[in-house]
Amino acid sequence: MEKKKIWLSSPHMGEHEIKFIQEAFDTNWISPVGPHINAFEVELAAYAKTGYCAALSSGTAAIHLALILLDVKRDDEVICSSFTFSGSCNPIAYLGAAPVFVDAEDQTWNMDPLLLEEAITHRIEKTGKKPKAIILVHLYGMPAKVNEIMSVARKHEIPVIEDAAEAIGSSYQGKMLGTFGDMGVYSFNGNKIITTSGGGALISNNQGWISKAKFLATQARDPAPHYEHTEIGYNYRLSNISAGIGRGQLMVLSERVTQRRNNFEFYRAAFGHHPGISFPAEPSGSFSNRWLTTMLINPEQCGGLDRESIRLALDAENIESRPLWKPMHLQPVFANCPAYVNGTSEKLFKDGLCLPSGSNLSQEELLRVVKVMKNKGLQ
Ligand SMILES: *Cc1c(COP(=O)(O)O)cnc(C)c1O
pLDDT per position as a tens digit, 193-233: 999 999 999 999 999 999 999 999 999 999 999 999 999 99
- State whether the Cα torsion 51-95-61-101 is positive or negative: negative
Sign of dihedral through CA atoms 206, 166, 112, 125?
A: negative
For 173-187, how does the pLDDT look when each residue is reduced to its tens digit (9 = 90+)? 999 999 999 999 999
* Residue among 136, 106, 85 at smallest CA distance from 344: 106
Rounded Cα distance between 33 and 46, Å, is: 21
Maximal C-alpha separation, the chain: 72
Quick one: pLDDT at residue 2? 76
- Which atom in ligand 1 lies closest to the alpha carbon of residue 191? 1
Read off the pTM: 0.97
Return the domain boundaries, the chain.
17-252, 254-375
Contact 182, 206 (CB under 8 A): yes
pLDDT band at 1 (very low <50, low <70, confident <90, very high): low
* pLDDT at position 248: 97
Distance 307 CA to ligand 1 centre (A): 24
C-alpha 348/C-alpha 104 separation (Å) is 10
pLDDT given for residue 32 in this prediction: 77
The strand order across the sheet containing 286-287 reads 175-176, 171-172, 286-287
C-alpha of residue 59 to centroid of ligand 1, in Å: 5
Provide φ and ψ at 138, rounded to 5°.
Answer: -105, 95
In sequence order, which residues have a C-beta less than 8 Å from that of residue 139 and are 6 or more positions away?
81, 83, 84, 104, 109, 110, 166, 325
- What is the three-class DSSP state of 229? coil
**Over residues 37-53, mean pLDDT:** 98
The whole-number pLDDT of residue 353 equals: 98
Of all protein residues, the one whose alpha carbon is nearest to atom 2 of ligand 1 is 165
| Gap from CA of 88 to ligand 1 centroid (Å) | 6
d(CA 35, CA 28): 11
Assign a CATH topology to domain 17-252: Aspartate Aminotransferase; domain 2 (3.40.640)
- 31 pLDDT band, cuts 50/70/90, is confident
> Which of 187, 192, 326, 354 for a ligand 1 pocket mutation test, highest count of atoms within 8 Å of Cβ?
187
Are 273 and 62 within 8 A, CB to CB?
Answer: no
- Mean local confidence (pLDDT), 312-317: 98
CA of 311 to the centre of ligand 1 (A): 23
* Res 66 pLDDT > 90: yes
pLDDT of residue 108: 98
Pocket of ligand 1 (CB under 6 A): 58-60, 84-85, 87-88, 137, 163, 165-166, 187, 189, 200
The answer to whether domain 17-252 and domain 254-375 are alike in fold is no
* Ligand 1 centre distance from Cα of residue 16 (Å): 25
Tell me how far the alpha carbon of residue 167 lies from the centroid of ligand 1, in angstroms: 10
Q: If you take atom 5 of ligand 1, which residue's CA is the nearest one?
A: 59
Give the model confidence (pLDDT) of 116-166 as tens digits: 999 999 999 999 999 999 999 999 999 999 999 999 999 999 999 999 999
Across the chain, what does the average pLDDT equal?
97
- Tens digits of residue pLDDT in 230-277: 999 999 999 999 999 999 999 999 999 999 999 999 999 999 999 999
For 206, which DSSP code? -
The residue-averaged pLDDT of 80-107 equals 98
Which ligand 1 atom is the nearest neighbour of the CA of 189? 7
| Res. 296: pLDDT tops 70 | yes
| Pairing verdict, β 160-163 and 183-187 | parallel
Indicate whether 53 pLDDT > 70. yes
Query: Per CATH, the architecture of 254-375 is what?
Result: Alpha-Beta Complex (3.90)
